[in-house]
Structure 1
Amino acid sequence: MDKGFPVLSDAPVGLGGDELGFGRYVDPLVQVITDEATETPFTIGVFGPWGSGKSSLLRMIDQRLAEEHPGRTVRVHFNSWVHRGEPHLLLPLLHTLQDTLEQDGRRRLREAAGRIGYVIAHLTSDTLLRRVSGGAVTLDKLQELSQQYAEQRGKVHSELRGLRRTLQEQADRAADDGARLVIFIDDLDRCQPHEIVDLLESVKLFLDLRHVLVILAVAKNVVDQGIAVKYREFGFDAAKVLEIGDEYLDKMVQLPLSLMPIDAGGYLGSLPMPSGFAEHRSLLGEIVVPNPRRIKRVLNTLAVTCAMGGPGLRPDVVIRLVVLRVQSPDLYDAIAARPHLAAALEDMYAGRLPLDRPDRLIERYGQAEAEPVAAAVRRFHRSQDYLRGVFRGTAFTEVTDELPRYLTMLGR
């Protein structure tokens, strides 16, 4: 690896580093957000698999709003993953909303910030419940605590009702001043399934308001998992869970935007390749999944491997193994346990492996290995489309005796 080769960061990028071509999304979405003709409440859903660039798109939208429409929006940024594990994500969402409104330079929503702070203080006073449930107490004391708890909960419920009313009043006031409240909610993918559904329900309950726009970034399959967890007692099958997930998002999201898969080859062309691997860029473009995060992980692993691997390594073999390690760890582990499995899969894709002839398999791999190799080939052959490119040709067959060295270098 060249000493100056940069390891690639996975941090979200702004408009100045848009190798993904997301600029085509930004202007239309900013137009929707700032256009007075857009009726509110309004929710934009940015959907895409893990690592597809959703956070970068949200950052670009925020950057464009800040640069071109600074006085027309109050922008709130909530990172769900930072607050994972909280009893309910509503509280940190309210904290974030409060902090942003207090910092609004024109003080349009300061009253709402004060009301939110009051609600948070009461919501976090549920220590009464813990006092009731823990430790020995007398009947009189239990009744006293129960009464206090009921009174406190009543105050909280009253404040929650008032919170929505206050938020609406202050959003209306901001609108009179020419501004809208824009709430960015990111990294939902990284939260637990039940947390995702709880947060979405809170957003619908408290932020479905005039002059308020919400931008959600999430992978749809994660929402489906949350639905499956939340309603597991109903015993819905997979098809029903997908149907409920679609209906759930349809009720929340007025503008769904599914990120189109990137052109892996084109994206690779915008990124630096480690020394010695550039001539195999087309191979990498064929077998790597079109996912920015996965592509950067592959390139970073290639860079480190190149630095520590020593002479004599074939770049095309290293590329294949690194892609397997990142994209199909189960298959990579199976090859690490039985290196001759890689050549067997090459033979299988080429039609040269006689799975229906146990005697031939025993002759090739020995009595002890014949059946495990055959079972692994049956499991992984055609399990993913990109594997056809990985096992095309005879690269693994040509380095069968040296493959343990490659695998030791890459680790498991």
Structure 2
Amino acid sequence: MWADNASKIDMLSFEPYAELLHEMALSERINPLTIGLFGNWGSGKSTVLNLINKKITAETNKNIVSIFVNAWMFEGYDDAKTALMEVILRTLEDNKGIKEKVGGALKKLKDRVDWFRLGGYALKKGTPLLLSAAFGNPIPILLEGLKTIIPKDQSQAEEKITQLLEMKEFLKDLPEDNVVQNIRKFREEFEQMMDDSGLDNLVIIIDDLDRCSPDRIIETMEAIKLFLSVKKTTFIIAIDEDVVSYAVQRKYPKIDDASLDISKDYIEKIVQMPIKIPELSDIEVKNYLLLLVCEMFLGEDHLDRLLSGLKERKVFVKGEIISQEEIRSILEHEGNALDVVFKPGHNKEDFEVQLDVFGRVADVISTTLKGNPRQAKRFINTFYVRKKLSEIQNLELDLGILAKLMVLEYTNLDLFREMYSWHITNEGFARELAPLEKFSVDEEAQNIEEMKQLYSNAWFKPIVQHWLRVEPTQLSEVDLRPYFYLAKDSIKEKNISMLNLTAEERKWVNDICIDGLQETLRQQKIVEFNEADVDHSKIIKGIIAKYQTNKESILKILVKLYELFPIHREELMKEFKKLRKVEMSPTNVMLFNLVKRVNVQHYDDLKKYFIEEGIVEAELWDRVARR
């Protein structure tokens, strides 16, 4: 199994990025510097940061120090700015050599950070710090602040406050109306401490910033820019640019009709050197899946040998697919027998089988994972969980079938659930799959138009047709009950497979709700559905079942059904009221104008409900409704 976090082994060939950032971080010519490592969730940013930290830690120059900070730890603090500053100062203080040189300066900086924290707390409480000190004993207010944001017991907090109050120089440096002066003082003292410490460079590596709340993201970036960006410091921040942009836009909303992109300018002012990690290609994802299997079976030394051999052959640079033969030839290099390199409990036969399984399905799954290595880990973890569950319960499974069904589950959950409904009605056998399997290998065997009358269009997408051709084929002849039993977490929710719809009824549901369909074609399909001689009630229930898992994209369909089917309006009104605040965009508010044209009372009822429940602000509703 693989932990859902950064890997310390470079199976994604990120070494060049790590080397580049390592060199940049230690360059005196461009110091101070803030480097932004940009990439989507799960793209491998943390892995690159681990490689950089490993390189810096291995430096022979001991005057270069790295500090690895997980920004998520700041979520429990009242002020992320001071939390980051305190982490950095405490880490430096833990270094005996640095403490011997600048221990006093570090203590003074830490005390100043405490004052920043307490001053901010007092202002948030509506009680300026110095006013409370001037008109009485400030201990109760300060003690409450310390207990809220510093994990100390009461006696420790009291002792700390007493020490702070005795330091008159801090009182005179903290006029409540001179924030700029205090920031300047801290920067000056921090920079002087760096000079006196003898450090050539302090590299602060910040990970998981994009997992934090918007306020914490802004506070952390402000701390870097305002307090800590001084000579001999380098920051490397791993962030998802879209997440940070959202945080900035929340903090600094765009002015009406302004062309200025505030979020972009904000990030550019803090990050001087942006480095973007590209999404993995389909070939790279396929290779990564195979390497994950290798990591499970091989000891660390042999895995290193395999990775080094692949890099020497420039497999990653050339964008080549790793073959089983190539893996075998590298591992057997220098006369090492393949059957002695495996971890305890693993053997050559299982290794070969699982490489073959993932070699076959990786083509399809790599397209679905969209270049995301974390998703690849999750897929393969789920595979091994189900494999282990089958072994515990003595279920006889074909690992190829298990992997292939999981690929459909990841690629198109609706089709996976449709297969589930087929196997339920056929005592474990998805007989309806047989014509589709035949069509995938010989399109001339059946008339495409006749096929589309029986099956939803999703079955004819290229990726699904590819899936049908992947070995093992002819799943329609396999008892699938044990496989769906292991996947019950994906089929247990209420969905259309539980409604006993016929093939024709399922086709109507899927054709109306299919993703990516042009809106004019969708509306035309709904009109055709209204005129068709079918059980409208069952099909509408199927559409509602889909809506319950994807409200935003299917709301427009339900509103149109509300207009066309008066008998179902009360039922649809209940579904409308399941919308949450995050799903109620101005566009969705406008959709209810169609309800108003049909039934004003229902419209007023919806408006009252959404406003009273705090789902939509009255001003927003009225503004949108007038359009």
TM-score category by the smaller chain? 0.7 to 0.9
In structure 1, how many angstroms separate the alpha carbons of the residues matched to 2:472 and 2:257? 46
Contact kept in structure 2, 1:101 and 1:110, CA below 8 Å? no
1:193-231 CA distance string (max 9 Å, x none): 332123212211112212211100111121122123223
Q: Which residue of 2 aligns with 1:296?
A: 377
Counterpart amino acid of residue 407 in structure 1:
F
Question: TM-score, with normalisation over the residues of structure 2?
Answer: 0.50
2:24 is equivalent to residue 32 of structure 1: yes
The partner residue of 1:260 within 265, 270, 278 is 278
Instruction: Report the residue type matching 1:199 in the other structure.
Output: T
1:75 aligns with 2:156: no
Q: In the TM superposition, what whole-angstrom CA distance separates every residue of 1:90-114 from its partner, at most 9, and x where no partner exists?
A: 1210120111121233224434422
Once the 2 structures are TM-superposed, how far is the Cα of residue 311 of structure 1 from its aligned partner?
4.2
- Segment of structure 1 superposing worse, 182-191 or 158-167: 158-167
Residue 12 (structure 1) aligned with residue 93 (structure 2): no
Q: 1:278 aligns with which of 327, 335, 355?
A: 355
Q: Which has the higher helix share?
A: 2
Matched, 1:225 2:216: no
Q: Which residue of 1 aligns with 2:365?
A: 287
* Compared CA separation, residues 304 and 178, structure 1 to 2 (3 A): closer
**Structure 2 residues without counterparts, runs of 5 or longer:** 142-170, 297-349, 423-429, 491-627
**What residue identity is the alignment partner of 1:252?**
I
The 3-state SS of whatever aligns with 1:21 is coil
Of 116, 121, 139, which residue of structure 2 is paired with 1:123? 116
More displaced stretch, 196-205 vs 347-356: 347-356
Distance 1:233 1:111, change over 3 A: same
Provide TM-score, normalisation by structure 1.
Answer: 0.73
* Residue 173 (structure 1) aligned with residue 204 (structure 2): no
How does 1:98-177 map onto structure 2 within 5 Å?
A: 98-107=89-98, 108-125=101-118, 128=122, 144=135, 154=175, 157=179, 158-174=181-197, 177=198
Per-residue deviation, 1:69: 3.9
For 2:416 and 2:405, locate their aligned partners in 1 and report how far apart those are by CA, in whole Å: 9
Check the 8 A contact 1:42/1:214 in 2, yes or no: yes
Letter in 1 for 2:6: P
Greater Cα offset, 301-310 or 312-321: 312-321
Choose the corresponding residue for 1:194, options 215, 225, 233: 215
1:403/1:251 Cα in 2 relative to 1: closer, same or farther (>3 Å)?
farther
TM-superposed CA distance for 1:34, in Å, is 2.1
Alpha carbons 2:37, 2:236 under 8 Å: kept = yes
1:305 aligns with 386
Give, as a single letter, the amino acid of the residue that structure 2 aligns with 1:291: N
- Change beyond 3 A, Cα 1:317–1:183: same
The yes-or-no answer on 1:23 pairing with 2:104 is no
Q: Is the 8 A contact 1:287 1:387 kept in 2?
A: no
Shift of the 386–62 alpha-carbon distance from structure 1 to 2, 3 Å rule, reads: farther
Select the residue among 34, 40, 45 that pairs with 2:36: 45
Deviations 1:56-91 (A, max 9, x none): 221221221121244231222221112224332112
1:355–1:203 Cα change, 3 Å: farther
- The 1:67–1:144 alpha-carbon spacing in structure 2 relative to 1, beyond 3 Å, is same
- Partners in 2 of 1:391 and 1:105 — Cα distance? 63
Checking the alignment, whether the CA contact within 8 Å between 1:336 and 1:407 is kept in structure 2 is no
Higher relative contact order (CA 8 A, sep 6+): 1
More displaced 10-residue stretch of structure 1: 208-217 or 302-311? 302-311
**1:136 alignment partner in structure 2:** none
CA, structure 1 residues 223+132, in 2 after alignment: closer, same or farther (shift >3 Å)? Answer: closer
Rounded Cα–Cα distance in structure 1 between residues aligned with 2:60 and 2:247: 36
Alpha-carbon RMSD across the aligned residues, in angstroms, is: 4.3
Letter in 1 for 2:30: E
1:287/1:251 CA distance change after superposition, 3 Å: same
Separation (CA, whole Å) in 1 of partners of 2:24 and 2:192: 23
Which has the larger displacement, 92-101 or 281-290? 281-290
The amino acid of 1:215's aligned partner reads I
The structure with the largest alpha-carbon Rg is: 2
Count residues in correspondence: 370
Partners of 2:53 and 2:470 lie apart in 1 by 47
